[in-house]
Chain A
Amino acid sequence: MNEFEPKIVAFVCNWCTYAGADLTGTSRIKYAQNVKIIRFPCTGRIDFMLLLKSFGEGADGIIVSGCHPNDCHYTSGNFHARRRWIMFRGLLDMLGIDVRRIQYSWVSAAEGAKWADVVNTTVTAIRELGPYTDYAKVAGYLEKEANV
């Protein structure tokens, strides 16, 4: 059987991490294909419900990334996001939703290499954890596929 290729969604802010990922490209630093970016204006905009929906739709892992503290283009969106993540992570942990499947990071517009590293280490980590079958079972995806 082929190696498991996890599906990973990255929720990133436009000003730091998206630009940082652009720099990864400009610098031609290679990383794994598994991660696909969705661009938000700010980490403050990232709704926890979207993270939840991603698992519901079959994501094996998630990256959430934005500007370093004090560097937010909008001054404090990332601070609000951080509080939200602290609470959300605690709740998911209580519920047994595997918090190792969500990697949070600060990647600035100058950290092209860091972005590649965040992607690669996350892909490796999720590969080790394997497909998120626990959640998929609840989401009914396995049954759906089995019926086809």
Chain B
Amino acid sequence: MKELIQKAASLLETNVVQVVIGYGKGSADRTRAIFSTTAADCEQLIFDSRCIQNLAVYLTKAEIKKMGKPAIVAPLPVLRSILQLAAENQITDDSLVVLGVSPESELIEFESLAAIETYLATKQIAIEEKYQTTIKAIKAMPVSERFAYWVKELEPCFKCYACRAACPLCYCTRCTVENNQPQWISVASHSLGNLEWHIMRAMHLAGRCTDCEACYNACPMGIPIYLLTKSMLQDVSENFGTYGPSLHRDNTLSSFNPDDKESFIR
């Protein structure tokens, strides 16, 4: 990853950026996010298969924004999040430098956000077969059993909101769950509150989620909440054709097609 380190260091030295968001060594065998502000710091940067955290989450954090213009180490899932954030007016071409990392661990430099979209066009989000099978199996359960399955799956959730904190698209400064006028969702980690929280989270990600799995990776209880967003991704593609982040296509739920088809409205 010499190339990455060199590039990051030169960006800082030339003051093109003031901080580099990248991966560094964490405790035990894990990696963590590091924020390099000097060329020397960049020596700490690493990149390997353990680097699964979605760094795009930091782009919207006030604390990081304060540090100045960032460069960000961006493997595929991060690139997708960056594009979605751009589509949602959270970042612009001028607001960051993207240090793309290809699946072959090669550094890719992007001229613009549009160039990221061109690059991603060949790397469509695809729900892995094993998840498709799981989703199919769940949907095949009788409705009561399916409900019981999810109530049980969500039972361990104690509303730590790690899923929210890890998600690059959960950048609201006040989440609805913290809104108490009215109190939309019970704050207690109780079955109803858990259910409502996860439904709301999934709905808010409908048509936006880029399937990075950061929520699942962050969940201390290992709840497979990504099955909800994956299932919705399938729904988006089945019902509306296109999906995946785009700068020129309006978001799935804030747009419509007069010919949208459904079979349940009488």
In the complex, chain B residues whose CB is within 8 Å of the CB of A83: 240, 252-253, 255-256, 260
How many residue pairs between the two chains, A and B, have CB atoms under 8 Å in the bound complex?
113
In the complex, chain A residues whose CB is within 8 Å of the CB of B203: 48, 87-88, 91
Please tell me which one of the listed residues A70, A85, A95, A118 contacts residue B146 in the complex, with CB atoms under 8 A apart. A95
Which of A85, A88, A99, A138 is the most central at the interface, judged by chain B CB atoms within 10 Å of its CB?
A138
For window 232-266 of B, CB contacts with A under 8 Å fall at 232, 235-236, 239-240, 252-258, 260, 262, 264-266
* A79-B256 in contact (CB<8A): yes
In terms of DSSP, what is the predominant structure of the interface of chain B?
helix
- The CA of A56 and the CA of B252, in the complex, are separated in Å by 28
For window 196-211 of B, CB contacts with A under 8 Å fall at 196, 199-200, 202-203, 206-207
Shortest CB distance B145–A (Å): 7
Shortest CB distance A128–B (Å): 14
- The CA of A140 and the CA of B190, in the complex, are separated in Å by 9
Q: How large is the interface on A (under 10, 10 to 19, 20 to 34, 35 or more residues)?
A: 35 or more
Shortest CB distance B56–A (Å): 23
- The CA of A93 and the CA of B263, in the complex, are separated in Å by 14
Which of B145, B190, B235, B258 is the most central at the interface, judged by chain A CB atoms within 10 Å of its CB?
B235
B231 interface hit (Cβ, 8 Å) = yes
A52 interface hit (Cβ, 8 Å) = yes
- The CA of A91 and the CA of B262, in the complex, are separated in Å by 15
Shortest CB distance A77–B (Å): 10
* B184-A104 in contact (CB<8A): no
* B151-A94 in contact (CB<8A): no
In the complex, chain B residues whose CB is within 8 Å of the CB of A134: 144, 147-148
Known: A94-B227, A95-B150, A95-B228. 14 other contacts (CB 8 A): A52-B199, A53-B196, A56-B192, A56-B196, A83-B256, A86-B260, A89-B264, A91-B231, A91-B235, A97-B147, A118-B266, A134-B147, A140-B190, A140-B192
Question: Which 3 pairs from chain A and chain B are nearest by CB?
Answer: A96-B146, A96-B147, A79-B256
